[in-house]
Structure 1
Amino acid sequence: MTRTRPGLLALLALGAGVVAIALQLGLGAVGLSKIVPQVTLAVTLVLIAVVVVVIALPVRRATRAARDRAADAPPRPRVDPFYATRVVLIAKASAVTGSLLGGAAAGLVGELLIRPVSAASSVWAGVAMLVGSVLLLVAGLLAEGWCVLPPDDEDQPPVASHP
């Protein structure tokens, strides 16, 4: 599995922001109430980010132990590969979701700020959603990075010395 690319995350955030602005303007044009994110969404995103980091900790400990282990040290217990795979998938999904929701939150906040009249509570709720989304994105990328195995010494080709 390849690491999540920053360009893809930026493209997803940009697309979600454009869709959010267009949706807000369309809702306003037909006379419907506009979307105002709830603060509980931001709290939920932060809690999910914490869970993603916590479930990635055993994998990080196992990969660091494999890298830092001395040659004469007893082997550490290995992490279940199915567990590690699930953690990587959850981390990747969290990064993509954080990017999409962050872009949408930025679009909502941007549209709220260009309105002639907007409630301050709506703007702060949008900013809270943006912060929660960015934390979810960072937690996903961090957990994904923790699941990278160090290269094995026997898998590396010998380094040729030049005279």
Structure 2
Amino acid sequence: MKRTGPASLIVAAVLGGGAGYLFDQLRTSAGRPTFTPQLSLPVLLLVLGAIVILLAVPIYRASHGHTSTPLNPFHAVRIAMLAKASSLVGAAFGGVAVGLILFLLTRPAEPSVGSLSALIGTAVSAVLLLVAGLVAEHLCTIRKDDDDKHTGAGAPGADDSRPDDAGGHYASH
């Protein structure tokens, strides 16, 4: 499993931005008010980011020998996948919030401070979730073992069908 790349995060943010802009465009064309998230959305995104990091710290400690608890590779992969999903969700929600902000700023009427601040808070919280997901994903990677150095092409037990990813391995490898 490879780390989350910038291309997938950019695609998620751009798709989210387009969806947010289009959503508000459709709402206002139907005569409805623009969408304003409640205060609970940014708080929920921040709490999710904190939980993801808290779940990844024990994986880091176990994989780097800072604890006597053995590393459960299945648990580590689950946390790594949660971290990857969190970074993608953060990028998508950040894109949606930016799309909604762009829609508000392109309107002839000046947006209310309350709706604009709620959207900015959502965008900032989404970026913090993205960062938390990337940090947690980094915490779930392990160092290459001495055995991994000797499994090059032609070495006994080498798997030539799998390319080496220089970005690190997840704890399951």
Q: TM-score range by the shorter chain?
A: 0.7 to 0.9
Give the aligned partner of residue 110 of structure 1: 102
1:55 counterpart SS class: helix
Is the 8 Å Cα contact of residues 113 and 123 (structure 1) preserved in structure 2?
A: no
Shift of 1:32: 1.5
Of 97, 102, 123, which residue of structure 1 is paired with 2:116?
123
In 2, distance between residues paired with 1:154 and 1:26? 57
Superposition CA RMSD, Å: 1.8
Higher RCO (C-alpha under 8 Å, 6+ residues apart): 1
Q: Which has the higher helix share?
A: 1
Of 147, 150, 155, which residue of structure 2 is paired with 1:157?
150
Of 67, 72, 84, which residue of structure 2 is paired with 1:80?
72
Give the aligned partner of residue 62 of structure 1: 62
Is the 8 Å Cα contact of residues 62 and 77 (structure 1) preserved in structure 2?
A: yes
1:97-121, Cα deviation, whole Å (9 max, x unpaired): 1011010011111112222231110
1:88-139, Cα deviation, whole Å (9 max, x unpaired): 1110110111011010011111112222231110000000000110111111
Of 73, 93, 106, which residue of structure 2 is paired with 1:101?
93
In 2, distance between residues paired with 1:45 and 1:109? 18
Give the aligned partner of residue 39 of structure 1: 39
In 1, distance between residues paired with 2:102 and 2:64? 42
Give the aligned partner of residue 53 of structure 1: 53
Shift of 1:12: 1.0
Q: Can you give the 5+ residue segments of structure 1 that lack an aligned partner in the other structure? A: 67-74, 159-163
Aligned residues: 151
Is the 8 Å Cα contact of residues 60 and 147 (structure 1) preserved in structure 2?
A: yes
Q: Can you give the 5+ residue segments of structure 2 that lack an aligned partner in the other structure? A: 152-173
In 1, distance between residues paired with 2:32 and 2:9? 31
In 1, distance between residues paired with 2:73 and 2:142? 11
Of 138, 147, 160, which residue of structure 1 is paired with 2:131?
138
In 2, distance between residues paired with 1:85 and 1:91? 10
Runs of 4+ with deviation above 6 angstroms: none
Shift of 1:15: 1.1
